[in-house]
Amino acid sequence: MNATPAYRVDTAVIDLAPIHAAEVARLHGQFPAARVWFGHHTRRWWAMDGACLVEGATPDDLMNALIAAEMRRWGR
């Protein structure tokens, strides 16, 4: 008896590096003073803006966190 399933499952391999690079460039365009990166171990987006370290689950979450950090810094 053959233990191999009767169907074949193929999994696409997607290189996320270009997507991450595009998101970093987009965020850097909006926040040029911030250092932005994707944490491969944490699976979160991070930015260091001045002395403030912020994070988000998505690039848009990180953008909102950066806006909030700027508002706190300027007392708004």
Place of tokens 């810094």: 73
Q: Is residue 10 domain-resident?
A: no
In a domain? residue 59: yes
Least confident residue range of 3-7, 43-47, 52-56: 3-7
Residue 60 belongs to what domain range?
33-76
How far, CA to CA in Å, does 30 sit from each of 34, 35, 52, 61? 9, 12, 16, 14
pLDDT 10s digits, 7-36: 777 888 889 999 999 999 999 999 999 999
Residue among 34, 43, 20, 21 nearest 63 (CA):
34
Domain presence at residue 57: yes
Domain assignment present for 4: no
Per residue in 54-69, pLDDT tens?
999 999 999 999 999 9
* Stretch (H or E) spanning 23: helix 17-30
* pLDDT exceeds cutoff 90 at 48: yes
The verdict on residue 50 lying in a domain is: yes
Query: Which residue in the block uniquely carries the two structure tokens 């699976």?
Result: 43
Let me know if residue 2 belongs to a domain: no
pTM above threshold 0.85: no
Instruction: With respect to residue 8, please indicate whether it lies within any of the assigned structural domains.
Output: no
| Greater pLDDT, 73 or 2 | 73
Structure tokens at 59: 């690039």
**Domain count within the chain:** 1
Residue 43 falls inside a structural domain: yes
- In this prediction, residue 10 carries a pLDDT of 80
Q: At what angle do helices 59-73 and 17-30 cross, to 10 degrees?
A: 20
